[in-house]
Structure 1
Amino acid sequence: MLEPYTFALRGLALGFVIALALGLRGLASRARLAFCAFLACVAGYLIRAAPEAAGWSWPVLVPLSIAAVLFPAALWWLVHTAFDDRADVPHAVWAAVLCLLAAAVTPRTAPAWASLGVELTQKLAGLALAGAALWRLWRGRADDLVPGRRALRGGLLGYAGAHGVGVLAVELWMGGRRPPPWLDLANVSLMALVLAVSLALMLRMRQQAVDALFGAPAARVEDAPAQLDAPDSTDAAEEAALERLGQRMRVERAYRSPELSVAELARQCGLPEYRLRDLIHRRLGYRNFPAFVNEHRVREVEGRLCDPSEDRLPILTIAMDAGFGSVGPFNRLFRERHGVTPSVYRQRRGSVACVSASGRLDRHAPPG
């Protein structure tokens, strides 16, 4: 009795998915790719979960199954790319993706014990990816400098968390059996509603707002500390605030504290937290607070690696002195920035790039 309504809602939800994908054309390439991958997985789940799909041939079901089971990976990538402004993919994530793919391509004729093992592995891998994505949405909310995007973190966290946990609980409870029609209708209705709301919000937002929320991270500022001394605003209060921020970061080197937060830096500068967020994002072009702080840290490391008098110090010691809490984030950031390891960078101290980095730092070194 409920099947016709579910079928209609499923088609409506797929229409919303297509409309959202078309509306993402104005986004930066990485964010657009992440969103389209996420929407493709939503579409795959909607089609694969339809009762009519049960009788389709295995070659037809494989791509749909792949899209459906990769939903947790797509959610993780969306958070990683569009919310945390990151491009790297850790090896553990690739391993989880392989586990999900193995579950998607396992034929229905496989032995029962093999199917059970693959299904259990899929559930664990999917839960790990979804949990990591939700955790990063929650953890990164304080460091996100884009106001609208920071608000969306809470909405996506609440929906993905509640819906995802609910779907997982039902799947575990059903034990591989198909859910009753009313439950399938409720699931599709909720997805259609969320997609409709998302589409409505996107249509109401101007392109500038979309770019601000999900555009590519600002290009690395060639001389970020220098910008703190060269504000282009005519507002005297803003100039004074930027001057205090430059004093704390460049001269007093507040970035050397591994625990530096937006709230702590705002307190040191004597500014409201929302005002400091606005200055760093709008005036200096940073979308996440760690990127702003790490820019100063890595510049100090660059200068010290180019200084022969510092050769006796291990690179890890220099990185820790500059405020990096662990070697992993430092090495990743340094390789993304220069394409070589810190040790190779130190060996090439005579190169133009090294001299340039050292020169930029020296111009803003504190007196004495």
Structure 2
Amino acid sequence: MTLAATELAFRAASVALLLVLAASLLSDFRNVLAARLGAVFALGSAAHAASYSVGVSSLVAGWHAPLIALSTGNIVVFWLFTRALFDDEFRLRRWHGLVWALVTAFSFAGCLWIAPGGHARFSVTAVNLLVLGFIALAIGQTIASWPADLVERRRRVRVFIVCAAALYGGLNAVLQIAVAGSEVGGVADTINTGVLACIVAAIACAMMRVDGADLFPASVAAPAIQARPAPVDEPADQKLIDALMRLMADERVYRQENITIGVLAGRLRIPEYRLRRLINQRLGYRNFNVFLNNHRIEEAKAALADPGQAEVPVITIAMDAGFQSLGPFNRAFKAVTGVTPTEYRRLKVNAV
């Protein structure tokens, strides 16, 4: 098989796998934001697989430019996908679409006007610096959110997906900056397409080994308790649950700023993995922050229903319960109760 045929086979395999992955996500989890973004990311990656070349020249064919632009804009989708994957409360905003459009438009302009105008190195460098910036944002989101995920198998697969995509994208961006404006040759393109095909296959395989309902929960509208708790049939587990509930009810540790599962495990003198498993499998929570927020919201509900605190501002009640700002409190409160804190207080006052 010739080098060109090998490269074409790798590209075709990557595109086919990515299209199947996108169709599967949309078919099974179309109502889940993370899955929809994952499908869009897969489609953008298919555009990348079909169009990417190492060391592109300053002249790009007109039909090729839209694919390159979509491939570049896909890094914004990757960042959004990472946010939705690790944060069940994440919602798309109009400015997210604007950011995607600007990055895509800049890449398109670079292909058709900036690079042909004698500024190929500037165009390629600027585009790939944007790529590296969004990869950094995605990695930062993963580092910040990953410890709160309580589902062990899902944690590993999610991190693998993000790290594999970020490593491939980051190395390609650095390589493109290094060889900007020159044509490297067919060997580099064949190696690159082969690596991409292997990464896509590995991600697809990893996703197949995890229950889709774990990776993409079917419903995230009411995240207070997302899994049915298993019966506590071990005295040691029951003892730990009792100790954990005392920390929550008596000491109200959820009020502490930046409380982590590691800190809580230290208070209970058990390994972090055991506490994570206990909260997930015995209490039914998928996310540590949701577990904390549930206790915070219960305290806030009691305060809002108390006639003696009718004049206390909602923001004060939220801060006293452990929330750091009003926005996250309002969203979490409404997700659990179905109404805003102000509406909840009014309903309780009228019921008296």
Q: Specify the TM-score bucket, using the shorter chain as the normaliser.
A: 0.7 to 0.9
**Structure-2 separation of matches of 1:288 and 1:115:** 46
1:205-354 matches, within 5 Å, as 205=209, 209-216=211-218, 220=222, 232-334=231-333, 336-337=335-336, 342-343=341-342, 345-350=344-349
Moved more, 25-34 or 12-21: 25-34
Q: What is the letter of the counterpart of residue 323 of structure 2? A: F
Q: Kindly tell me: are residues 113 and 342 of structure 1, through their superposed partners in 2, closer, same or farther at Cα, counting changes over 3 Å?
A: farther
Match of 1:132 in 2: 137
| Contact 1:298–1:334 (Cα < 8 Å) also in 2 | yes
Give the aligned residue type for 1:44.
A
Matched, 1:11 2:12: yes
State the 1:104 CA deviation. 5.0
Measured in 1, the distance between the counterparts of 2:89 and 2:65 equals 32
Q: Is the 8 A contact 1:138 1:154 kept in 2?
A: no
TM-score by length of 2: 0.81
Q: Deviations over 1:194-253 (max 9, x none)?
A: 1122233344x26xx3322333466647789xx99xx73333332222222222213332
Number of matched residues? 343
Pairwise mapping of residues 90-105 of structure 1 onto structure 2 (< 5 A)? 93-105=96-108
Query: Aligned in 2, Cα 1:16/1:221: closer, same or farther, shift over 3 Å?
Result: closer
Rounded to whole Å, the distance in 2 between the matches of 1:176 and 1:336 is 51
Q: Matched residue of 1:141: which SS?
A: helix
C-alpha spacing 1:195/1:246, structure 2 compared with 1 (3 Å)? same
Tell me, in whole angstroms, the C-alpha distance in 2 between the residues paired with 1:166 and 1:142.
Answer: 26
The letter of the residue matching 1:82 is: L
Give the TM-score taking structure 1 as reference length.
0.78
Instruction: Select the residue among 25, 47, 51 that pairs with 1:44.
Output: 47
Cα deviation digits, residues 147-177 of structure 1 (max 9, x gap)? 1122234433442332222111122223344
Q: Give 1:277 shift.
A: 0.9
**Superposed CA RMSD:** 3.6
In the alignment, structure 2 segments of 5+ residues that lack a partner are none
Q: Which residue of 2 aligns with 1:363?
A: none
Deviation at 1:301, TM superposition (A): 1.8
Q: Deviations over 1:18-59 (max 9, x none)?
A: 34335544457314312211211110111122699x87645x
Separation of aligned partners in 1, 2:81 and 2:224: 28
Partner of 2:36: 33
Secondary structure (helix, strand or coil) at the match of 2:146 reads coil
Q: 1:273 to 1:69 in 2, by over 3 A?
A: same
Separation in 2 of the partners of 1:271 and 1:16?
43
Question: What residue in structure 1 maps to residue 3 of structure 2?
Answer: 2
Report what 1:362 is aligned to. none
Structure 1 unaligned residues grouped into runs of 5+: 356-368
* Superposed displacement of residue 193, structure 1: 0.6
Superposed, which structure 2 residues align to 1:140-219 within 5 Å? 140-203=145-208, 205=209, 209-216=211-218
Distance 1:321 1:163 in 2: 44
Paired-residue identity, %: 27
Give the distance between the partners of 1:348 and 1:178, measured in 2 at CA. 69
Change (3 A) 1:175 1:337: farther
**Counterpart-to-counterpart distance in 2, 1:305 and 1:61:** 57
Shift of 1:68: 0.9
* Greater Cα shift, 13-22 or 116-125: 116-125
